[in-house]
Structure 1
Amino acid sequence: MSLKQNLKKAGIALAGAAALIAMSGASFAADNILIGFSQGTLNHPWRVAMVDGNKKYAEEHYKDVELVITDGQNDSSKQVADVESLIARGVKVLMISPLTSDALTPVVQQALDAGIQVVTMDRKVNIPVTVHVGALNLPIGEAAGKFLVKALDNKGKVIELQGTGGASATVDRHDGFVKGIEGSGLEVVASQNCDYLRENAVKFMEDQLQRFGPGEIQAVYAHNDEMALGAIQALEAANRLGEVKVVGVDGQNNAFEAIAAGKLAATFTYPYVAPEGIEIAYKLAKGEKVDAEVVLPGKQIDATNIKEMLGTGF
């Protein structure tokens, strides 16, 4: 074989090798799993824990996953735009904790219509999705109501600090509470959507403490610990915490500390869906079967078990 023929053969071999490398790279990129995570807001420690917990778990366990996280900034229209962007990027699975059910339902339907599997976390939308994962808010609200009925000896006036209006968690935590106090002597005398924010709860409670004098309020039921801690702040400032029992939901470490200090009567843990969210999304992406609803257990925390729970929150 001539030198020219040898060079030509070598050139073909090199070209073939280059093509194989290129194909191998393309194949590797194609094997990556693109998962989108649309968070409704990051203005609350519970939601930050949800994002950080799932992100860290994915980084440690799923090297073949690219997790794209968006923040709806407590604005439903912003979250809708975020999901539209994730759909356009061609995510294989959409993880979403919707800000409100009504606003996010149409865009979640778009994702499903595009063949994207959807995992709703904590809050739901108004249509069936591939999987919903979270605790059950209705029983938590009912348990909070029954706790206060017992703690107040079946009579008293209650202020309710509700979460974001229209959110499924807000609706269920309210409806459950109503069921829990049904037939008792407890009465909700004031209620406000405080959007799960401590500062909003402080302001509303300050107004209510002007409206209701000493001895006219016996309890505060807050849909989350941040608002419960805001209520405690306002009550302490008015020197009236001793006359009011405050109950929260979620299981923050500082809420546990408030129980230990005798400031918070109880809280009910609500798992922040990490790492369960990314675990389920990964299974779906890999073609595994997952139940349509995955229920995470909660727990009542009060003076009777606080010692064992200190330091276990988020």
Structure 2
Amino acid sequence: MKKREFLKTVLMAGSAIVLATQVMAQEKIKIGFSQGTMNHPWRVAMVEGNKAYAEQNLPDVELIVTDGQNDSSKQVTDVESLMAQGIQVLMISPLTSDALTPVVADAMAAGIKVVTLDRKVNTDVTVHVGAENKPIGLAAGKFIGEKLGGKGKIIELQGTGGASATVDRHDGFVEALEGTELEIVATQNCDFLRENAVKFMEDQLQRFGPGEIQAVYAHNDEMALGAIQALEAVGRLNEVVVVGIDGQNNAYEAIKAGKLAASFTYPFVAPEGIEVAYKVAKGEAVEKEIVLPGKQVDASNIDEMLGKGF
């Protein structure tokens, strides 16, 4: 083969490779994942679990992840940016329902399929994936009621104000207290953060003396562990029943140590989130709402659950 012909062949082969690469890139399914915040382990587990699954099992997916940094306005901007990048599916765990509803409605109107994870918005979406928060709150209330014999004063550490999980975990808990002598005497939105829970509990332990508080209901394990920290600091943990939600490994360790009475597992929607997003991107039929099962973890079953959290 003459030199000129050889070079021509090489160039043609190179062009074919470039074209094939471009075609493959075009065939990638672009999925955007808008996380409301990454400020505690449950949220990190949700992101990392879905990313890892996509990397290992979905070579035809380009997953773009954003962090709203616990700021609803930033998360709105994140979603708008993802839409501008041409995503086919939006996975979103909204920080608050009201603030994220308009931009999610815009995404649906633009023909982008939307999969909400954990928290909901007040508009139609393609599919919602998560556990049911109200039954968890109800179960937590019944557990505390049984522990206290239906009588006692409770401090409630709520999550992020306006989040569907916060509303439902509170409403379910309040429903469980109906007809009992259990009473919530102090409550505050601690934003699902341990440090906020510690500060609020320190204030309440000055307000309520020894024997005046019988239980703490925290909307997640991070805040429950914060309550334990504050109670231990003043030597009052042995007089208070503390309950959390989520199923963190360090919460399980606290149950084993006799510090935390119970945690109600709340699946962190991984890899279920990306699995469902991939199915809707491929046009497969899915249920409108996919409910993930939770579980009560306490002294009776802690040995089988140790190390199985996140």
Which residue number corresponds to residue 3 of structure 1? none
Distance 1:12 1:79 in 2: 51
Which residue number corresponds to residue 253 of structure 1? 249
Which residue number corresponds to residue 44 of structure 1? 40
Which residue number corresponds to residue 272 of structure 1? 268
Which residue number corresponds to residue 146 of structure 2? 150
TM-score (norm: length of structure 1): 0.95
Which residue number corresponds to residue 24 of structure 2? 28
State the Cα deviation string for residues 151-201 of structure 1 (Å, max 9, x = none): 000100000000000000000000000011111110000000000000000
Residues 1:204 and 2:204 aligned together: no
Match of 2:115 among 98, 119, 129: 119
Taking a change above 3 Å as real, the CA distance of residues 18 and 187 of structure 1, as seen in their structure-2 partners, is same
Residues 1:68 and 2:71 aligned together: no
| 1:178 aligned partner, one-letter code | V
Query: Once the two structures are aligned, what percentage of the paired residues are identical?
Result: 73
In structure 1, the gaps of 5 or more residues are: 1-5
Partners of 2:253 and 2:306 within 8 A in 1:
yes
Aligned residues: 309
1:309, distance to aligned residue in structure 2 (A): 0.5
| 2:291 aligned partner, one-letter code | V
Matches within 5 A, 1:151-300: 151-300=147-296
1:284, distance to aligned residue in structure 2 (A): 1.0
Give the 3-state SS of the residue equivalent to 2:64 in structure 1: strand
| 2:151 aligned partner, one-letter code | K
Partners of 2:105 and 2:124 within 8 A in 1:
no
Residues 1:95 and 2:95 aligned together: no
Which residue number corresponds to residue 80 of structure 2? 84
Residues 1:305 and 2:294 aligned together: no
1:11, distance to aligned residue in structure 2 (A): 9.6
1:145, distance to aligned residue in structure 2 (A): 0.3
1:113, distance to aligned residue in structure 2 (A): 1.1
In structure 2, the gaps of 5 or more residues are: none
Taking a change above 3 Å as real, the CA distance of residues 166 and 7 of structure 1, as seen in their structure-2 partners, is same
Relative to structure 2, which stretch is displaced further, 23-32 or 302-311? 23-32
Give the 3-state SS of the residue equivalent to 2:300 in structure 1: coil
State the Cα deviation string for residues 65-102 of structure 1 (Å, max 9, x = none): 11110000000001000000000001011100000000
| 1:226 aligned partner, one-letter code | E
Taking a change above 3 Å as real, the CA distance of residues 233 and 14 of structure 1, as seen in their structure-2 partners, is closer
Distance 2:246 2:33 in 1: 21
1:26, distance to aligned residue in structure 2 (A): 2.5
| 1:306 aligned partner, one-letter code | I
Residues 1:138 and 2:134 aligned together: yes
Give the 3-state SS of the residue equivalent to 2:267 in structure 1: coil
Distance 2:10 2:231 in 1: 78
| 1:35 aligned partner, one-letter code | I
| 1:26 aligned partner, one-letter code | Q
Partners of 2:108 and 2:114 within 8 A in 1:
yes
| 2:24 aligned partner, one-letter code | F
1:110, distance to aligned residue in structure 2 (A): 1.0
Distance 1:282 1:97 in 2: 16
Give the 3-state SS of the residue equivalent to 1:301 in structure 2: strand
Distance 1:93 1:120 in 2: 11
| 2:92 aligned partner, one-letter code | I
State the Cα deviation string for residues 91-129 of structure 1 (Å, max 9, x = none): 011100000000000011111111110000000000120
Distance 2:10 2:304 in 1: 66
Distance 1:233 1:13 in 2: 72
1:23, distance to aligned residue in structure 2 (A): 3.5
Give the 3-state SS of the residue equivalent to 1:59 in structure 2: helix
